[in-house]
A and B are shown apart, each in its own frame.
Chain A
Amino acid sequence: MSDNPGFIDILASTLHDTKNSLGLLFNTLTNVIERCQKRDDSLSREFNLLQYEIKRLNHNMIRLLALYKAERSQFTVNIDYHSVSECIEDVAMQSEPILCSKGIEIETDCSGTLFWAFDRGLICEILDNVLNNASRYTKDKVRVSAREEDNYLIFRVEDNGPGYPDSMILSSGGSSLRKKAIDFRTGSTTLGLYFAELSAEYHVNKGRKGSICITNGGNLGGGIFKLSLP
């Protein structure tokens, strides 16, 4: 046995470092935008694009790290009892500047009396990622909702864009994303969905597991991302 760290560990610690830098970059940029807004609006489009891309990179790092931890059985969920509406409003608020700048309307729908036990950080991360994605593909509307159905907490992110391509459709109870090959041709690694699925499955309650499901249609006629937690 050697004490030298393996390549994977070096990779992981570099990812961690990169994630921190991106976080710093994002926060600094947010401060810069705040200051610039007072003076001049003309740069805001570019700024928002920057924010969007940094966020994407940051999401990627977080996911890769999570998968690294899962591989090493170090992935853990931090479950507490949360107000679901507060969680949704938080996510909506975070994405609002980017969506707003593109003329996209965001709507939330959740009862203030709905509480659930889940890992807020993880779930917000997933919803934030889906919203960030939707900001790119929707026409002009996004809707985030949550409700209780058959003892599961169901989150839905719906949009009025063209919907998910057939290759990404994923029904609950169907084949797992982990068996889907990475498509290098389109550049879609489905990493985000893989992470969402993994996080959902780590939510276990009395033998029942969480899951995700991707379809098209619904109220807005576009893509629907559905996350169920026991």
Chain B
Amino acid sequence: MAITQINPNSFQASIAVDWKNKQALVVDDFYSFRSNVKEMLRSFGLMHIDEAGSGDDAIAKIAQKKYHVILCDYNLGDGKDGQQVLEEARYQGYVDHSTIYIMITAENTINMVMGALEYEPDDYLIKPFPKGVLERKLRDWVLKKEDLKGIEKALKEEDYGKVVALCDALIDGNPKNLAQFLKIKGESLIKKGDYPGAAAFYEKLLTMGNLPWALLGLGKIRFIIGEYDGAEAIFNNIIGQNEKIVTAYDWLAKVYEKKGDLAAAQEILQRAVSISPKAILRQKTLGDIAYRNMDLTVAEKSLREVVKQGKNSVFKRPSDYTSLAKLLTDKDNQEEGLKVLQDAGREFSDNREARLQISAAEIVALKKMKRGTEAQKIMEKVLKISSQSSERLLTDTELELAKALILMGDENGGNAVIKRLIQNNHEDQALMAGVQAVFKELNMEDKGQEMIAALRDEVIVINNQGVKFVREGNLRGALELFDKITEQLPDNKVINANAVHALILYMKQRGSEPELLKKVKEYLERIQGIDPSYKDLKILANNYVELVRGGIRT
């Protein structure tokens, strides 16, 4: 075992960092603080240092240039705060895990700042800090990030097998940030879908120490494979050991939701929100669940918080406003509900989808207030906006528009939209629940049930026939059938995917044909357009590429 003699400056001299070629950004609303920090950075040898005085300014700079280091104050006055800058930068892909993002806070806000739901900074620094602390922190992170380069690339390519291999190689070398690689490895095993492997990995780690994140990993796996009781016990165990780990609360709420215990889900989310209130996504979930529980007081409080926090956030959505407006209307506070929607109209003035969603909600509210003439005017505007472009709308937006149509007396028009939605998304449980809710609101619950059941059955029967042909090896029959259905239901991703599957099998047996390859390409593009994250899309696309590479009629 080595004995190190410590003498002055030995640490500083131990590892050299190439500061000269690092790009840094300092974000703070106070000029004096910015120049103070810049002075510190210069003294380490950094030469390229930019500064930003507001969140918007920071985002604009981050979007244009790749920074190695971002030092951002949490409190930036009016506008975006430091957490919102981080969320937007990561969400938009301006900043990846190779960037060092350090959040600077005052001591009295640190608790508020920590516990963000999805996007956490690499580190926190509490104001004021001596130069030595900043230098050491930055040097440690530069070295850590150096190791992460290859992993980062593989993560971007979603090549989780490679991520695991890279982590294994690094872990063998006993790096100082071993825990970081262990964490990435566990998460990648889960993303790869290797649940037994991931579970075994976490269990082995837990024999070495009582690590909350390893427990969290195990709990997630139990949740994914549907073992909700096991997951619940694990998440409760984590909270029992450290009640500040808010992520465990979020997962526990998911478990309760799956188990159908919405009251418990709401209670646990309320606890999480009281520990860490500044997390817009958590507030959204709480608002949604409390609304479903008909706890309008809690729902209102959360939804108001969502709208407030959303003002400067990349997670701002028109549905935040329409949900709050709907709740206010339910509570007979229609005037304010309408005001919220008008606010929303201003916030999203340049977004077609959002304008349609908001207008649909306005029509519903005005209709309830018996202000039919105004509702009619907005309906006309809606028809105009939607005819201006053929760009695909979200299914939720279409559903809201259909509801508005029916309310305004165009029952045939509304029903046609809903019919198409059901046929094209017969497997989307959440949408079906939404359709049912709409019919319930319109006091047409039975009709809704009937319509969903009949249309869904129709699609399921015909799709199953195609799948059966494939299974029996009657590929020619399957191709003919899918030719017909894809024409009838061009926007149903499941049908398109099954058609691609049949075509690929056919060509694997009989060799490629240009005509069929063209069809595969068209269907794949449709799926990409409907749902870019569709689960089988990547595998099917790879198969297609292989076929094309394999040449025609080999």
Contacts and interface: CB of A to CB of B under 8 A. Distances in A.
Given A77-B242, A78-B242, A30 B213 contact: no
Nearest to A21: B107
A204 B210 contact: yes
B383 interface: no
A117 B210 contact: yes
Interface string B241-275: 11110000000000000000000000000000000
A112 to B, nearest CB: 7
A113 B211 contact: no
A82 interface: yes
A34 interface: yes
B176 interface: yes
A115 B174 contact: yes
Contact of B210 (A74, A79, A82): A79
B399 interface: no
B143 to A, nearest CB: 11
Contacts of B93: none
A92 interface: yes
Interface stretch (B129-137, B295-303, B322-330, B537-545): B129-137
B497 to A, nearest CB: 42
A78 to B, nearest CB: 7
B126 interface: yes
A111 interface: yes
Given A76-B241, A79-B212, A205-B210, A89 B130 contact: no
A34 B40 CA distance: 12
B179 interface: yes
Nearest to A85: B176
Given A20-B107, A76-B244, A204-B210, A34 B178 contact: no
A27 interface: yes
Contacts of B241: 76-77
B16 interface: no
A31 B1 CA distance: 36
Interface string B233-246: 00000000111100
A31 B130 contact: yes
Contacts of A86: 176
Nearest to B110: A20
A34 B44 CA distance: 14
A124 to B, nearest CB: 13
A102 to B, nearest CB: 13
Given A34-B132, A89-B11, A93-B11, A81 B211 contact: yes
Interface string A5-31: 000000000000000100110011011
B225 interface: no
A223 B132 CA distance: 31
Contacts of B212: 79
Given A31-B130, A79-B209, A109-B1, A100 B178 contact: no
A27 B130 contact: yes
A96 B210 contact: no
Return the 10 tightest CB-CB contacts between A and B, nearest first. A117-B209, A30-B130, A81-B179, A76-B242, A20-B107, A83-B176, A113-B174, A86-B176, A27-B128, A205-B210
28 contacts: A20-B107, A23-B107, A24-B107, A27-B129, A27-B133, A31-B130, A34-B131, A76-B241, A77-B241, A79-B242, A80-B211, A81-B178, A81-B182, A81-B205, A83-B176, A86-B176, A89-B11, A107-B3, A107-B5, A108-B6, A110-B1, A111-B2, A112-B174, A115-B174, A116-B209, A117-B209, A147-B1, A205-B210
